[in-house]
Structure 1
Amino acid sequence: MNTKKGVVILGHPRSGTTLLRRIFNAHPEFASPPETHLLGACARFIDADYTADGVDMGVLSGLNFAGFEDEEVLSRLKELAFGFLDTFAQNHGKRRWAEKTAFDIFCADAIERIFGDSVFYLGIIRHPLDVAVSSVEFCATAGVYPSSMHPYIKRHPRPVEAFAHSWADATKTLMGLGERQGENSLIIRYEDLVEDPADTLEAVFAKLGESFVPDMLEDALERSEILGFSDHKTYGESSIHSSSSGRWQSLPSPLVSDLAPMLNPLLEVCGYDALSHRPISQDRLRRRYLSGLAVQMQKKN
């Protein structure tokens, strides 16, 4: 049982982090604001470049030279974040808080360095190709690739491939965090949450020393709450369901086959079925392409 005041929700964007946040906000003991970007900002505050000699050129070295030890700087950052989140919880009559900002997973190591074991880390994992499909749709709607995605888009011009690689990195980060934090963390799967929310959430809140309140499942999507940065999709839903699972199966089989060698080891660890890896020759792909053109011409005529 873990009774730390704060819970940090982490997962690749489009993995169900917003759903988790809204469920926590519906719990009588937790307040969970829309995305504050607070923890990521704290993480970026200590980001640094390095000289050829390995010296970090950033705020920690700068303040260290000015007489402030690293631990003091990190402690002040933690107090800054806790001050906002504690006040938010108090303003809503709650004892505890849960913080979720979608892209925090990409600076999770720095977040852990600042907050250590003073918070509980709750991770959520979703099938990588469902994440990729949903991420492509989100970016098309928003009209932008968020900055955390830029390195992946540059290396992998096919968007689904780019998001599959970012999922792999995010999942490895989450697993590493879970190993280091041990009992101070828990990782769940999105599919388990939407297919059996009661049992999944009962285990989550038991780990946190709180009771699962069944009414939360209805209240999470129906109650009025503060609007802000968040996944807009959950606001159009009236119940928790699994209809979004498995959408990746409509992806072209050559693309899925290309990604299989990279994803399959992690899929196995996460409890998902392996992807089929059946390379198709270029000759066959070209014939398939021409056949598709012929079909379109017939439809036109």
Structure 2
Amino acid sequence: MSAQVGPPLWMRVINKVRRLIEGPPVREKTVVKVVDPSARKRCPPSFLIGVYRSGTTLLRYVLDSHSRIAVPPETNFLNSLAEMWGSDWMRKGLRGVGVDEEGLLERLRDFAWTIYDDYALAKGKARWVDKTPSYVDILDFIDLLFGAQCRYIMLYRHGLDVAQSMAAVHANDGLGGPARRYAEEFTRSPRLAFTHYWKDQCGKMIDFERRHPDRCHRIRYEDYAEDPDRYLPPVFEFLGEAWEPGVLAYHKRPHDFGLQDHKIETARGFKPKTKTYRHWDREEISEATRIAAPVLEQLGYPVP
């Protein structure tokens, strides 16, 4: 079994040289200050949902390049709001100061919506889309928070490619949270561990799609990266926004730097990365395929 999970040394050197010459596509950081409440306008809520290493950052840059859409780096804070909402101990304490369940939800909703709206306002945009992979685990809470007007772009990538990419990050000690716990549980092979992780996370996404079909738009990384002119316009149509061909030149526009954005600093245009797992040995590919097969079939990927 090959031990190499990241790009070779020569490729890393070339990427660094390109970064020095061309500069990364992330060039600014907006400072969002407290906004006068009278200047606020509640924006339509939307979320880009996908497992880590599924092409969410690339699609985030595309969406953020639209004249009306602001897409911040990973926000993560909704996880803590979901924890507060689900804590009986916290609810009991809040009831003691007169905040019941309905009052708590309204306060959490107003807090979250204000954070996003202020960001969009600071960017001069009319709406926002959040891209935070960990939100796969709190989809029902998000839907409770933002209601029936919320829209979800559900992004998928082949499970073995995701597992390969996550294993490369894990090798550099760059993973935390539930994904890391999978690697600690399935110690025999990080790749198989992350195949299990992909299967479980995609299962949650597919279930959510099934329950909210009218408010979800499914797209695959391989499709939009291979043929962006065909697969990206329907995403904007789903959001009710006009298609702007300029979004395809996302690398020529400034974007705020996020936690995972170093992976795309040298990206220019669309170059799909597929079958990155081909260097695995035959036994590992076979086992990973057996793990992923049920979900791969549901998503329309060929299963040997």
Instruction: With the length of structure 2 as denominator, give the TM-score of the two structures.
Output: 0.80
In structure 1, what is the equivalent of residue 83 of structure 2?
44
Shift of 1:47: 3.8
Alpha-carbon distance in structure 2 between the residues aligned to 1:209 and 1:110: 24
2:253 equivalent in structure 1: 223
Q: Give unmatched runs, 5+ long, in structure 2.
A: 1-42
8 Å CA contact retained: 1:106, 1:148: no
1:183 aligns with 2:210: no
Q: Answer whether contact 2:49 2:155 (CA < 8 A) is retained.
A: yes
CA–CA distance in 2 between the matches of 1:160 and 1:113? 34
Aligned partners of 1:96 and 1:168: how far apart in 2? 32
Quote the residue 1:237 is aligned against.
Answer: 267
Q: Deviation digits for residues 35-56 of structure 1, max 9, x if unmatched?
A: 12232232233244xxxxxxxx
**Among 70, 80, 93, which residue is 1:31 paired with?**
70
**Is residue 2:107 matched to residue 1:68?**
no
User: Is the Cα contact below 8 Å between 1:42 and 1:111 reproduced in 2?
Assistant: no
RMSD across aligned C-alpha pairs, in angstroms? 1.8
Separation in 1, partners of 2:230, 2:135: 27
Q: Pick one of 3, 7, 10 that aligns with 2:49.
A: 10
1:200 to 231, 247, 250: 231
Given the superposition, is the C-alpha separation of residues 113 and 264 from structure 1 closer, same or farther in structure 2, using an over 3 Å criterion? same
Amino acid at match of 1:256: I
SS in 2 for 1:124: strand
Aligned length: 261
CA distance in 2, matches of 1:260, 1:248: 11
SS of alignment partner, residue 152 of structure 2: strand
> Does the CA contact (< 8 Å) of 1:168 and 1:266 recur in 2?
yes
Higher relative contact order (CA 8 A, sep 6+): 2
Q: Distance in 2 between matches of 1:20 and 1:64?
A: 42
Report the structure number with the largest CA radius of gyration. 1
- Are the aligned partners of 1:221 and 1:239 in contact in 2 as well (CA < 8 Å)? yes
Distance 2:229 2:294 in 1: 29
Return the alpha-carbon distance in structure 1 between the equivalents of residues 85 and 106 of structure 2. Answer: 12
Structure 1 consecutive aligned stretches of length 4 or more whose deviation exceeds 6 Å:
none
What is aligned with 2:166? 135
User: What is the aligned partner in structure 2 of residue 21 from structure 1?
Assistant: 60
Amino acid of the structure 2 residue aligned with 1:235: E
Give the whole-Å Cα distance in 1 for the aligned partners of 2:179 and 2:260.
18
Separation in structure 2 between the aligned mates of residue 6 and residue 230 of structure 1, nearest angstrom: 23
Task: Please state whether the residue corresponding to 1:250 is helix, strand or coil.
Answer: coil
Measure how far apart 1:82 and its partner are.
Answer: 0.8
Contact 1:40 1:111 in 2 (8 A): no
Q: CA deviation at 1:66?
A: 4.8
Determine if contact 1:221/1:234 at 8 Å carries over to the other structure. no
Structure 1 counterpart of 2:12: none
d(CA) in 2 for partners of 1:241, 1:230: 18
**Which of 142, 146, 165 is equivalent to 1:115?**
146
Q: In structure 2, which of residues 281, 288, 297 is the aligned counterpart of residue 268 of structure 1? A: 297
SS at match of 1:46: helix
The alignment-based identity, stated in percent, is 31
What's the counterpart of residue 88 of structure 1? 119
Alignment deviations for residues 229-273 of structure 1 (CA, whole Å, 9 cap, x no partner): 23312111111111x111112211111222333211111110111
**Deviation by residue 1:76-102 (Cα, 9 ceiling, x = unmatched):** 112111101111111111111011123
Write the distance in 1 (CA, Å) between the matches of 2:290 and 2:96.
Answer: 47
Residue 280 of structure 1: aligned partner: none
1:247 aligned to which of 258, 276, 288: 276
Unmatched segments (≥5 aa) in structure 1? 49-56, 276-301
| Deviates further, 126-135 or 107-116 | 107-116
| CA shift in 2, pair 1:146/1:126, >3 Å | same
